[in-house]
Chains A and B, each alone.
Chain A
Amino acid sequence: MSDICCNALAMATVPIQEWCKPYDWKTALKNGTIFPSLNLEFYKAEQINNPSSAPTGQESALNEISEIGFAINDLTLYLDTHPDCPKGLSLLKELLEKRRTLLADYAAKYQPLTQLSMITGTPETNVYGWAEGPAPWEGGNV
Protein backbone atom coordinates (compact mmCIF):
# COMPACT_ATOMS: atom_id res chain seq x y z
CA MET A 1 0.00 0.00 0.00
CA SER A 2 1.01 3.60 -0.43
CA ASP A 3 3.24 5.41 2.07
CA ILE A 4 0.49 7.95 2.67
CA CYS A 5 -1.73 5.25 4.21
CA CYS A 6 1.00 4.15 6.56
CA ASN A 7 1.70 7.69 7.72
CA ALA A 8 -1.94 8.63 8.28
CA LEU A 9 -3.08 9.11 11.84
CA ALA A 10 -6.27 7.57 13.21
CA MET A 11 -6.13 4.66 10.77
CA ALA A 12 -5.09 1.03 11.11
CA THR A 13 -3.10 -1.00 8.61
CA VAL A 14 -3.00 -4.76 8.10
CA PRO A 15 -0.12 -6.03 5.95
CA ILE A 16 -1.12 -7.66 2.65
CA GLN A 17 -0.35 -11.38 2.54
CA GLU A 18 2.25 -12.53 0.07
CA TRP A 19 1.87 -15.85 -1.72
CA CYS A 20 3.55 -18.78 0.03
CA LYS A 21 3.67 -22.45 -0.88
CA PRO A 22 0.47 -24.08 0.45
CA TYR A 23 0.35 -27.15 2.72
CA ASP A 24 -0.72 -30.47 1.29
CA TRP A 25 -4.53 -30.52 1.37
CA LYS A 26 -4.88 -32.93 4.30
CA THR A 27 -2.61 -30.82 6.51
CA ALA A 28 -4.42 -27.68 5.35
CA LEU A 29 -7.84 -28.94 6.48
CA LYS A 30 -6.42 -30.07 9.86
CA ASN A 31 -4.90 -26.64 10.45
CA GLY A 32 -7.77 -24.54 9.12
CA THR A 33 -5.72 -22.81 6.39
CA ILE A 34 -3.80 -23.76 3.26
CA PHE A 35 -1.17 -21.09 4.04
CA PRO A 36 1.63 -21.89 6.54
CA SER A 37 2.12 -18.14 7.06
CA LEU A 38 -1.43 -17.80 8.44
CA ASN A 39 -1.29 -20.84 10.72
CA LEU A 40 -0.95 -19.08 14.06
CA GLU A 41 -1.40 -21.68 16.78
CA PHE A 42 -2.72 -21.30 20.31
CA TYR A 43 -0.75 -22.80 23.20
CA LYS A 44 -3.88 -24.52 24.54
CA ALA A 45 -4.57 -26.20 21.20
CA GLU A 46 -2.01 -28.95 20.86
CA GLN A 47 -1.46 -30.88 17.64
CA ILE A 48 -3.29 -34.19 17.58
CA ASN A 49 -2.38 -36.47 14.73
CA ASN A 50 -5.14 -38.72 13.49
CA PRO A 51 -7.02 -39.43 16.73
CA SER A 52 -9.55 -41.57 14.90
CA SER A 53 -9.06 -44.95 13.30
CA ALA A 54 -8.16 -45.35 9.63
CA PRO A 55 -11.12 -44.36 7.46
CA THR A 56 -13.05 -46.79 5.31
CA GLY A 57 -13.50 -46.45 1.55
CA GLN A 58 -16.52 -44.16 1.72
CA GLU A 59 -15.17 -42.12 4.60
CA SER A 60 -11.83 -41.64 2.94
CA ALA A 61 -13.60 -40.59 -0.28
CA LEU A 62 -15.60 -38.00 1.66
CA ASN A 63 -12.44 -36.84 3.45
CA GLU A 64 -10.77 -36.18 0.12
CA ILE A 65 -13.76 -34.12 -1.03
CA SER A 66 -13.55 -32.16 2.24
CA GLU A 67 -9.84 -31.53 1.78
CA ILE A 68 -10.15 -30.31 -1.81
CA GLY A 69 -13.33 -28.39 -0.97
CA PHE A 70 -11.61 -26.62 1.90
CA ALA A 71 -8.57 -25.74 -0.20
CA ILE A 72 -11.00 -24.13 -2.67
CA ASN A 73 -12.73 -22.20 0.16
CA ASP A 74 -9.48 -20.81 1.55
CA LEU A 75 -8.02 -20.04 -1.87
CA THR A 76 -11.24 -18.23 -2.87
CA LEU A 77 -10.86 -15.77 0.01
CA TYR A 78 -7.21 -15.24 -0.94
CA LEU A 79 -8.18 -14.52 -4.55
CA ASP A 80 -10.95 -12.15 -3.43
CA THR A 81 -8.23 -9.84 -2.13
CA HIS A 82 -5.49 -10.93 -4.60
CA PRO A 83 -7.39 -11.23 -7.91
CA ASP A 84 -4.22 -10.65 -9.95
CA CYS A 85 -2.21 -13.56 -8.50
CA PRO A 86 -1.55 -16.00 -11.39
CA LYS A 87 -0.36 -18.81 -9.08
CA GLY A 88 -3.54 -18.64 -7.03
CA LEU A 89 -5.79 -18.59 -10.08
CA SER A 90 -4.15 -21.55 -11.82
CA LEU A 91 -4.27 -23.54 -8.56
CA LEU A 92 -7.97 -22.71 -8.15
CA LYS A 93 -8.75 -24.01 -11.63
CA GLU A 94 -6.80 -27.19 -10.95
CA LEU A 95 -8.68 -27.75 -7.67
CA LEU A 96 -12.09 -27.04 -9.21
CA GLU A 97 -11.38 -29.66 -11.89
CA LYS A 98 -10.40 -32.17 -9.20
CA ARG A 99 -13.52 -31.38 -7.16
CA ARG A 100 -15.78 -32.01 -10.13
CA THR A 101 -14.23 -35.45 -10.68
CA LEU A 102 -14.32 -36.39 -6.98
CA LEU A 103 -18.00 -35.37 -6.64
CA ALA A 104 -18.93 -37.36 -9.75
CA ASP A 105 -17.06 -40.46 -8.48
CA TYR A 106 -18.69 -40.16 -5.05
CA ALA A 107 -22.16 -39.89 -6.59
CA ALA A 108 -21.49 -42.93 -8.79
CA LYS A 109 -20.27 -45.06 -5.88
CA TYR A 110 -22.36 -43.76 -2.96
CA GLN A 111 -24.79 -40.81 -3.11
CA PRO A 112 -24.82 -37.39 -4.76
CA LEU A 113 -23.54 -34.56 -2.55
CA THR A 114 -24.60 -31.88 -5.02
CA GLN A 115 -27.42 -31.80 -7.57
CA LEU A 116 -24.90 -31.32 -10.36
CA SER A 117 -23.23 -34.63 -9.46
CA MET A 118 -26.52 -36.38 -10.27
CA ILE A 119 -25.70 -35.80 -13.95
CA THR A 120 -21.91 -35.97 -13.79
CA GLY A 121 -21.82 -39.10 -11.59
CA THR A 122 -25.02 -41.06 -12.17
CA PRO A 123 -26.49 -39.97 -15.52
CA GLU A 124 -28.22 -43.34 -16.16
CA THR A 125 -29.92 -43.95 -12.83
CA ASN A 126 -33.64 -43.50 -12.24
CA VAL A 127 -33.12 -43.15 -8.50
CA TYR A 128 -33.41 -39.59 -7.18
CA GLY A 129 -30.99 -40.28 -4.32
CA TRP A 130 -30.89 -36.86 -2.66
CA ALA A 131 -32.13 -38.24 0.67
CA GLU A 132 -29.88 -41.31 0.51
CA GLY A 133 -27.04 -41.75 2.99
CA PRO A 134 -26.69 -40.09 6.38
CA ALA A 135 -27.42 -36.40 6.90
CA PRO A 136 -24.21 -34.33 7.19
CA TRP A 137 -24.85 -33.68 10.90
CA GLU A 138 -25.11 -37.37 11.77
CA GLY A 139 -21.35 -37.77 12.11
CA GLY A 140 -19.46 -39.82 9.59
CA ASN A 141 -20.94 -41.67 6.66
CA VAL A 142 -20.79 -45.32 7.61
Chain B
Amino acid sequence: MWSYEKRLQYPVKITKTCPKTAQLIISQYGGPDGELSASMRYLAQRYSMPCKKVGGLLTDIGTEEINHMEIICSMVYQLTKNLTLEQAKTAGFDSYYIDHTAGLWPQAAAGVPFTALEFQSKGDALADLFEDLAAEQKARTVYDNLLRMIDEPEVREPLKFLRAREIVHFQRFGEALEMTKDKLDAKNFYYFNPEFDKAMAVKAK
Protein backbone atom coordinates (compact mmCIF):
# COMPACT_ATOMS: atom_id res chain seq x y z
CA MET B 1 0.00 0.00 0.00
CA TRP B 2 1.29 3.44 -0.81
CA SER B 3 0.47 6.87 0.56
CA TYR B 4 1.21 10.21 -1.08
CA GLU B 5 3.42 12.98 0.25
CA LYS B 6 2.61 16.23 -1.51
CA ARG B 7 6.10 17.26 -2.62
CA LEU B 8 8.81 16.20 -5.07
CA GLN B 9 11.79 14.18 -3.83
CA TYR B 10 14.03 16.82 -5.46
CA PRO B 11 12.67 20.33 -6.14
CA VAL B 12 12.00 21.30 -9.77
CA LYS B 13 11.66 24.98 -10.61
CA ILE B 14 12.00 25.62 -14.33
CA THR B 15 11.10 29.12 -15.49
CA LYS B 16 11.87 28.98 -19.24
CA THR B 17 9.66 27.21 -21.76
CA CYS B 18 11.71 24.84 -23.92
CA PRO B 19 9.79 22.14 -25.81
CA LYS B 20 13.01 20.77 -27.34
CA THR B 21 14.45 19.97 -23.90
CA ALA B 22 11.08 18.50 -22.86
CA GLN B 23 11.20 16.19 -25.85
CA LEU B 24 14.63 14.87 -24.80
CA ILE B 25 13.84 14.51 -21.10
CA ILE B 26 10.53 12.71 -21.70
CA SER B 27 12.60 9.62 -22.52
CA GLN B 28 13.22 9.19 -18.80
CA TYR B 29 9.42 9.03 -18.37
CA GLY B 30 8.44 6.52 -21.05
CA GLY B 31 11.69 5.49 -22.72
CA PRO B 32 13.47 2.10 -22.54
CA ASP B 33 15.57 3.05 -19.51
CA GLY B 34 13.10 5.50 -18.00
CA GLU B 35 11.75 5.79 -14.49
CA LEU B 36 8.36 4.24 -15.29
CA SER B 37 10.13 1.17 -16.63
CA ALA B 38 12.41 1.11 -13.58
CA SER B 39 9.60 1.27 -11.02
CA MET B 40 7.52 -1.38 -12.80
CA ARG B 41 10.56 -3.66 -13.16
CA TYR B 42 11.47 -3.64 -9.47
CA LEU B 43 7.92 -3.70 -8.16
CA ALA B 44 7.15 -6.70 -10.42
CA GLN B 45 10.28 -8.68 -9.54
CA ARG B 46 9.97 -8.44 -5.76
CA TYR B 47 7.14 -10.95 -5.19
CA SER B 48 9.10 -14.08 -6.02
CA MET B 49 12.53 -13.01 -4.72
CA PRO B 50 13.90 -15.80 -2.50
CA CYS B 51 15.76 -13.45 -0.18
CA LYS B 52 13.29 -11.41 1.86
CA LYS B 53 15.72 -8.51 2.29
CA VAL B 54 16.09 -8.26 -1.49
CA GLY B 55 12.29 -8.13 -1.84
CA GLY B 56 12.33 -5.26 0.66
CA LEU B 57 15.04 -3.43 -1.26
CA LEU B 58 13.12 -3.82 -4.54
CA THR B 59 10.05 -2.32 -2.86
CA ASP B 60 12.02 0.68 -1.60
CA ILE B 61 13.94 1.33 -4.83
CA GLY B 62 10.78 0.71 -6.91
CA THR B 63 9.01 3.30 -4.76
CA GLU B 64 11.85 5.79 -5.20
CA GLU B 65 11.64 5.32 -8.98
CA ILE B 66 8.00 6.46 -8.84
CA ASN B 67 9.28 9.63 -7.14
CA HIS B 68 11.76 10.01 -9.98
CA MET B 69 9.00 9.58 -12.55
CA GLU B 70 7.19 12.44 -10.82
CA ILE B 71 10.33 14.60 -11.01
CA ILE B 72 10.73 13.91 -14.75
CA CYS B 73 7.04 14.58 -15.45
CA SER B 74 7.25 17.84 -13.49
CA MET B 75 10.22 18.88 -15.61
CA VAL B 76 8.41 18.10 -18.87
CA TYR B 77 5.31 19.88 -17.59
CA GLN B 78 7.18 23.03 -16.56
CA LEU B 79 9.14 23.12 -19.82
CA THR B 80 5.90 23.10 -21.84
CA LYS B 81 3.16 24.62 -19.67
CA ASN B 82 3.35 28.03 -21.36
CA LEU B 83 3.99 26.61 -24.81
CA THR B 84 2.89 28.73 -27.77
CA LEU B 85 1.85 27.23 -31.09
CA GLU B 86 4.85 28.91 -32.72
CA GLN B 87 7.27 27.28 -30.22
CA ALA B 88 5.65 23.88 -30.79
CA LYS B 89 6.09 24.27 -34.54
CA THR B 90 9.73 25.31 -34.54
CA ALA B 91 11.19 23.22 -31.72
CA GLY B 92 10.42 19.79 -33.12
CA PHE B 93 7.58 19.37 -30.62
CA ASP B 94 4.88 19.58 -33.31
CA SER B 95 4.25 15.85 -33.69
CA TYR B 96 3.91 15.36 -29.91
CA TYR B 97 1.61 18.40 -29.77
CA ILE B 98 -0.77 16.93 -32.36
CA ASP B 99 -1.53 13.86 -30.24
CA HIS B 100 -1.09 15.14 -26.69
CA THR B 101 -1.14 18.98 -26.80
CA ALA B 102 0.94 19.80 -23.68
CA GLY B 103 -0.33 16.80 -21.71
CA LEU B 104 1.98 14.15 -20.26
CA TRP B 105 2.23 10.81 -22.06
CA PRO B 106 4.95 8.17 -21.57
CA GLN B 107 7.11 7.90 -24.67
CA ALA B 108 10.80 7.72 -25.58
CA ALA B 109 12.68 10.73 -27.00
CA ALA B 110 12.18 9.36 -30.52
CA GLY B 111 8.40 9.02 -30.01
CA VAL B 112 8.22 5.26 -29.33
CA PRO B 113 5.42 4.65 -26.79
CA PHE B 114 6.15 3.14 -23.38
CA THR B 115 5.98 -0.64 -23.41
CA ALA B 116 6.43 -3.34 -20.76
CA LEU B 117 8.69 -5.10 -23.28
CA GLU B 118 11.39 -2.71 -22.12
CA PHE B 119 11.87 -4.51 -18.81
CA GLN B 120 11.93 -8.05 -17.51
CA SER B 121 10.68 -10.08 -14.59
CA LYS B 122 12.30 -13.45 -15.14
CA GLY B 123 11.48 -15.39 -11.99
CA ASP B 124 15.18 -16.14 -11.49
CA ALA B 125 16.96 -14.12 -8.80
CA LEU B 126 20.36 -13.89 -10.53
CA ALA B 127 18.87 -13.02 -13.94
CA ASP B 128 16.65 -10.34 -12.36
CA LEU B 129 19.41 -8.77 -10.26
CA PHE B 130 21.77 -8.58 -13.23
CA GLU B 131 18.97 -6.92 -15.22
CA ASP B 132 18.58 -4.41 -12.38
CA LEU B 133 22.31 -3.67 -12.24
CA ALA B 134 22.32 -3.13 -16.02
CA ALA B 135 19.16 -0.98 -15.86
CA GLU B 136 20.82 1.43 -13.42
CA GLN B 137 23.85 1.72 -15.71
CA LYS B 138 21.69 2.36 -18.78
CA ALA B 139 19.70 5.05 -17.01
CA ARG B 140 22.98 6.64 -15.88
CA THR B 141 24.09 6.76 -19.52
CA VAL B 142 20.86 8.56 -20.49
CA TYR B 143 21.43 11.12 -17.72
CA ASP B 144 25.07 11.54 -18.84
CA ASN B 145 23.84 12.17 -22.40
CA LEU B 146 21.19 14.63 -21.24
CA LEU B 147 23.81 16.49 -19.17
CA ARG B 148 26.08 16.72 -22.23
CA MET B 149 23.25 18.19 -24.30
CA ILE B 150 21.46 20.55 -21.86
CA ASP B 151 23.02 23.77 -20.52
CA GLU B 152 20.24 25.34 -18.49
CA PRO B 153 21.23 25.15 -14.76
CA GLU B 154 17.63 24.86 -13.52
CA VAL B 155 17.20 21.78 -15.73
CA ARG B 156 20.62 20.30 -15.00
CA GLU B 157 20.30 20.31 -11.20
CA PRO B 158 17.53 17.67 -10.98
CA LEU B 159 19.22 15.64 -13.76
CA LYS B 160 22.45 15.55 -11.74
CA PHE B 161 20.51 14.38 -8.69
CA LEU B 162 18.83 11.61 -10.70
CA ARG B 163 22.13 10.51 -12.20
CA ALA B 164 23.66 10.19 -8.72
CA ARG B 165 20.74 7.99 -7.62
CA GLU B 166 21.49 5.49 -10.41
CA ILE B 167 24.96 4.91 -8.96
CA VAL B 168 23.62 4.47 -5.41
CA HIS B 169 20.99 2.01 -6.64
CA PHE B 170 23.66 0.06 -8.54
CA GLN B 171 25.60 -0.29 -5.30
CA ARG B 172 22.51 -1.51 -3.43
CA PHE B 173 21.64 -4.05 -6.13
CA GLY B 174 25.25 -5.23 -5.97
CA GLU B 175 24.83 -5.80 -2.24
CA ALA B 176 21.54 -7.59 -2.95
CA LEU B 177 23.45 -9.86 -5.34
CA GLU B 178 25.89 -10.73 -2.55
CA MET B 179 22.98 -11.52 -0.18
CA THR B 180 21.41 -13.74 -2.85
CA LYS B 181 24.69 -15.56 -3.51
CA ASP B 182 24.77 -16.46 0.18
CA LYS B 183 21.58 -18.45 -0.40
CA LEU B 184 23.01 -20.40 -3.33
CA ASP B 185 25.47 -23.22 -3.81
CA ALA B 186 28.79 -21.36 -3.71
CA LYS B 187 30.51 -24.03 -5.83
CA ASN B 188 27.95 -23.57 -8.61
CA PHE B 189 25.64 -20.58 -8.48
CA TYR B 190 23.63 -21.96 -11.39
CA TYR B 191 22.87 -25.41 -9.95
CA PHE B 192 19.26 -24.48 -9.14
CA ASN B 193 16.91 -21.49 -9.36
CA PRO B 194 16.06 -20.40 -5.79
CA GLU B 195 12.78 -18.82 -6.98
CA PHE B 196 11.54 -22.11 -8.41
CA ASP B 197 13.50 -25.01 -6.91
CA LYS B 198 12.46 -24.10 -3.39
CA ALA B 199 13.34 -27.39 -1.70
CA MET B 200 16.95 -27.07 -2.88
CA ALA B 201 17.08 -23.43 -1.77
CA VAL B 202 16.08 -24.47 1.78
CA LYS B 203 18.72 -27.23 1.79
CA ALA B 204 21.48 -24.86 0.68
CA LYS B 205 20.63 -22.53 3.54
Contact of B7 among A4, A14, A66, A78 (CB under 8 A): A66
Q: How many residues of A contact B (CB 8 A)?
A: 56
How far apart are the CA atoms of A77 and B176 in the complex, in Å? 11
- Across the interface, name the chain A residue whose C-beta is closest to B158: A32
Residues of A within 8 A of B168 (CB): 32-33, 35, 38, 74, 77
- Check if A11 is an interface residue, CB within 8 A of chain B: yes
Interface size class of B (residues with CB under 8 A): 35 or more
Chain B's closest residue to A141 (CB) is B7
Q: Evaluate contact between A139 and B57: CB separation under 8 angstroms.
A: no
Q: Which of B161-191 contact A (CB under 8 A)?
A: 161-165, 167-179, 181-182, 186-187, 189-190
Extra contacts besides A112-B6, A136-B70 (14): CB < 8 Å: A1-B181, A5-B181, A12-B133, A14-B133, A31-B164, A32-B164, A32-B168, A42-B160, A62-B11, A66-B8, A77-B57, A130-B6, A135-B6, A136-B7
Chain A residues proximal to chain B, CB less than 8 Å: 1-2, 4-5, 8, 10-17, 29-33, 35, 38-40, 42, 44-45, 48, 51-52, 62-63, 65-66, 69-70, 73-74, 76-78, 80-83, 111-115, 130, 133, 135-140
Please name the 9 residue pairs, one residue from A and one from B, whose CB atoms are nearest each other, closest first: A14-B174, A32-B164, A81-B175, A137-B74, A4-B186, A80-B57, A32-B161, A139-B13, A113-B6
